[in-house]
Amino acid sequence: LKLDFDKMDMTPEEEEAARQAIKEVSEYKRIKVREHEKKVPVRQKLPEHLRREEEHIYPEGYLGNEDQWVLFDETETSEHLEYKPAELYVRVTIRHKGMRKDTNRIITAPVKNEPIPKSYASASLLTELMVGKYVDYLPFYRQMQMFKRIGISLPPSSIEAWFHEVADLMRPAYYRLKELVLSSDYVQSDETTIPIINNEKHQTIKGYLWLVRNVTGNQVFFFYHDGSRSMKVALELFKGYQGAIQTDGYTGYGILEKTKGIIIICCWAHARRYFERALKHDKARAEYAMTIIGMLYDVERIADDDNMNAQQRM
């Protein structure tokens, strides 16, 4: 089996470039192995930007500047990282009233813009809840338990209502993110399962959430359409898109191959699985294929380690 990309023979210059590439990758891997062997766990210094609070401890029996004691300038110092728990407090907004002397009109200070009108949830509290859920993967019920430990009980119904309000506030950012991702000429797409409630059956069923990633810009957005994974959703999602879409081979993307301006490309990770299965039946050729694919992975690791941009990776 020969992975020669549509049976195109290499020119002598290309063969030499390939040999040099293999040599470069092999040398890089040897260097990385040596670096890994030299690594010894070392206790890291605590960051300099953190505030320092000094704690002075004197010899046992020393009560002050007594005549029988001589304190040396030389001391022994150690550092310990302390943690101060989060604090909840109430911001009380007092709007004052006044009247200019040359008019008879009473003026009240304007109402501050809050994220959710007629709610006591501030921007900082809402941010903490959403970052906890979507960045730190803490469900709301766990966050409620954490808030209880520092003295406040938040009703689940209130948090649920706040969640919907914040989602509405994020719509402009979501549409802009979608626009940025789909403006790229190379995206990756996949679907993931998500449990959704079927109101007719009164039970939880399996639905799908679509994910699209701008590879060169490293931006991601999710797309949901009644939990569906059908071709119609793919058409709606990529309507007007021009470029390459990399997928795992799911047939739902097949209809996009007929769309002008769209190229469907496959994934080496999924293709590699078949060669891995073939190890039991045709070890020599399967190992060759996996070695060649592995070289591509090595190039990718080099690009990641050197923080290469899209052009340098190409």
Query: What tens digit of pLDDT does each residue of 227-250 get?
Result: 999 999 999 999 999 999 999 988
Band of the pLDDT at 190, cuts 50, 70, 90?
A: very high
CA dist 54 → 47, 51, 71, 79, 80 (Å): 16, 10, 18, 9, 11
Q: What percent of the chain has pLDDT over 90?
A: 60
237 near 223, Cβ under 8 Å? Answer: yes
Torsion of CA 217, 218, 224, 225, to 10 degrees: 40
Average pLDDT over residues 242-265: 92
CA dist 143 → 18, 87, 123, 131 (Å): 54, 14, 16, 11
Query: For residue 15, what pLDDT is reported?
Result: 85
Which residues neighbour 271 within 8 Å (Cβ) at sequence distance 6 or greater? 293
Average pLDDT over residues 194-206: 89
Which residues neighbour 288 within 8 Å (Cβ) at sequence distance 6 or greater? 1
Structure tokens at 21: 């590439």
Query: For residue 7, what pLDDT is reported?
Result: 55
Closest CA to 45 of 15, 88, 78, 23: 78
226: left (phi over 0), alpha (psi -120 to 50) or beta: left
In this structure, the chain runs to a length of 314
Which residues neighbour 147 within 8 Å (Cβ) at sequence distance 6 or greater? 88, 153, 154
Task: Give the pLDDT confidence of 94-126 residue by residue, as tens digits.
Answer: 999 999 888 889 999 999 899 999 999 999 999
pLDDT mean across residues, the chain: 90
Judge whether residue 152 has pLDDT over 90: yes
Judge whether residue 80 has pLDDT over 80: yes
Q: Enter the pTM of the model.
A: 0.74
Q: What is the number of other CB atoms lying within 10 angstroms of the CB of residue 118?
A: 5
Judge whether residue 179 has pLDDT over 90: yes
276: left (phi over 0), alpha (psi -120 to 50) or beta: alpha
Backbone angles phi, psi at 36, to 5 degrees: -65, -40
Judge whether residue 6 has pLDDT over 60: no
Task: Give the pLDDT confidence of 265-283 residue by residue, as tens digits.
Answer: 988 888 899 999 999 999 9
Average pLDDT over residues 45-59: 92
Backbone angles phi, psi at 207, to 5 degrees: -120, 180
Structure tokens at 114: 């809050």
The alpha helices in 187-267, defined as continuous H runs, are 231-237
- Chain centroid to Cα 217, Å, comes to 13
Rounded to 5 degrees, what angle do the CA atoms 101, 107, 108 make? 140
Average pLDDT over residues 155-172: 96
